[in-house]
Amino acid sequence: MIILDPKRAFRFPIEAKNISPDIFAKKSSKEIAALQMWEGNRKGALGDLFNIKNDSGSPSEEFTIKIEGDASKLRNIGARMSMGHIVVDGDAGMHLGEDMSGGTITVAGNAGSWAGSKMKGGTIEIKGNAGDYIGAPYRGSTKGMNGGKIIIHGNAGYEVGCFMRNGLIQILGDVGLFAGIHMSNGTIFVQGNSEGRAGAQMINGKIVICGHTPVMPTFTIDSIKPKVKVDGEKIEGPFYRFIGDLADNGNGKLFVSKTKNPHLSPYEKYLE
């Protein structure tokens, strides 16, 4: 296990895409310390910013990088990683695990926006809150998250799972506007409340909201289901099942808790 201990509190954003098990695994401690990092507009080395400790655990353990302390200024941690673990003790900055295809990232604190952007596989677990555009594509692109799992124990911001094509995003807390906008497949599972407009312009895929939420007028009620399956697990309902977004000829499934959303009861008359 490699432990990175920040030498000081960082003031400027740091380009940290070199902090990845794929890159560390092939290098000696010395080479790791020499890895290039941009801090603001200054080019430096990883060794200038962190004390690097090599804590060799049991040989069977998968390659692990642990960042102790606050990493909220570090961007692109674990970008393109395909194996191993990254553990962040504090907060993590923007673009966490961008384009990753395997391995796990665990954040004890909060994560910034764009976590799991373009990700294809692996798991990101955030114990705190997350920002906006979780699992989204790069700006302008339509290639969003295409596999893997993102679990957020706290709340998440806007446009979670934008252009999502596969995989699972699970939010134990609340979610902002436009969860699952443009999504074409995959699952978004919100255990708290949603601010609304979930599934706007969705073509396909599944969104499950267990808390309170408004539903867009371009969704039509389809049925009431006693439970819904998420990632092989049965979630107890009952749920209203909506189909949409009809404005885009979509066939996405939006499951909304019946008990938490009494304001949606007038829809039931369309089921008779």
Partner 1 sequence: MTELIIKNGFVYDPLNRIDGEKMDISIRDGKIVESVKEKANGINASGMVVMPGGVDIHTHIAGGEVNSGRLLRPEDHVKDVEVKTALTRSGVGYSIPSTFTTGYRYSKMGYTTLMNPSMAPLEARHTHEELADIPMVDKAAYPLLGDWWFSLEHIRDGLIEENAAHIAWMLQATRGYAIKIVNPGGLEAWGFGRNVHSLDDVVPHFNITPREIIRGLCKVNRLLNLPHTIHVHTNNLGKPGNYVTAIETMKCVEDLAQGDKPVIHITHIQFCAFKGSDWSTLSSGAGEISKYVNNHNHVTLDMGQVIFSNTTTMTADGPFQYGLYNITGNKWVNHDVETETSGGIVPFKYKRSSAVHATQWSIGLEIALLIEDPWKILMTTDHPNGGPFTSYPKILAWLMSRAAREITLSKINKRARKKSLLPSIDRELSLYELAIVTRAGQAKALGLKPKGHLGVGADADVAIYNIDPQRLDISKEYKVARKAFKKAAFTIKDGEVVVKDGEIVKPVTGKTYWIDVSTSMPHEINDDIKKKFREYWTVEYENYPLPDSFIHSSFPIPVKAEV
Smallest gap from residue 80 Cβ to partner 1 (A):
14
CB of 217 to partner 1, least distance (A): 23
- Identity of the residue, 63 or 138, whose beta carbon is nearer to partner 1 in the bound complex: 138
Which helix (H) or strand (E) covers residue 24, if one does?
helix 21-25
CA distances from 253 to 227, 239, 242 (A): 14, 11, 6
Q: Which stretch binds partner 1 (CB under 8 A): 105-113, 139-147, 152-160, 260-268?
A: 139-147
- Using the contact rule CB under 8 A, the part of the chain among 133-141, 148-156, 219-227, 251-259 near partner 1 is 133-141
DSSP summary character for residue 63: P
Q: Rounded to the nearest whole angstrom, what is the least distance from the CB of residue 139 to partner 1 in the complex?
A: 4
Asked if residues 205 and 223 have their Cβ atoms less than 8 Å apart, the reply is no
Question: CA 78, CA 154: separation in Å to the nearest integer?
Answer: 21
Sign of CA dihedral 73, 69, 161, 177: negative
Residues 140 to 159: which contact partner 1 by CB under 8 A?
A: 140-141
Which one of 137, 144, 192, 205 is in contact with partner 1 (CB under 8 A)?
A: 137
- For residue 137 the two structure tokens come to 């594509």
Q: Which is nearer to partner 1, 16 or 175 (by Cβ)?
A: 16
- Minimum distance between the CB of residue 146 and partner 1, rounded to whole angstroms? 15
Alpha carbon distance 180, 136 (integer Å): 9
- Per CB under 8 A, the segment of 15-23, 48-56, 132-140, 251-259 that binds partner 1 is 132-140
Residue in 186, 261, 181 with CA at minimum distance from that of residue 221: 261
Distance CA 242, CA 32 (A): 51
Q: How far is the CB of 152 from partner 1 (least distance, A)?
A: 25
- Residue 51 found at the interface with partner 1 (CB under 8 A): no
User: What φ, ψ does residue 24 adopt, rounded to 5°?
Assistant: -65, -40
Using rule CB under 8 A, residue 138 touches partner 1 = yes
The CB-of-141 to partner 1 minimum distance in angstroms stands at 4
CB of 176 to partner 1, least distance (A): 22
Q: Write the CB contacts of 246 (distance below 8 Å, at least 6 apart in sequence).
A: 218, 219, 220
- Contact present, 25 and 76 (Cβ < 8 Å): no
Please identify, using beta-carbon distances, which residue of 141 and 204 lies nearer to partner 1: 141
Q: Give yes or no for residue 57 binding partner 1 (CB under 8 A).
A: no
Provide the residue type at 202 as one letter.
Answer: M
The footprint of partner 1 on this chain (CB under 8 A) covers a number of residues equal to: 5
Q: Interface with partner 1 by CB under 8 A: which residues?
A: 137-141
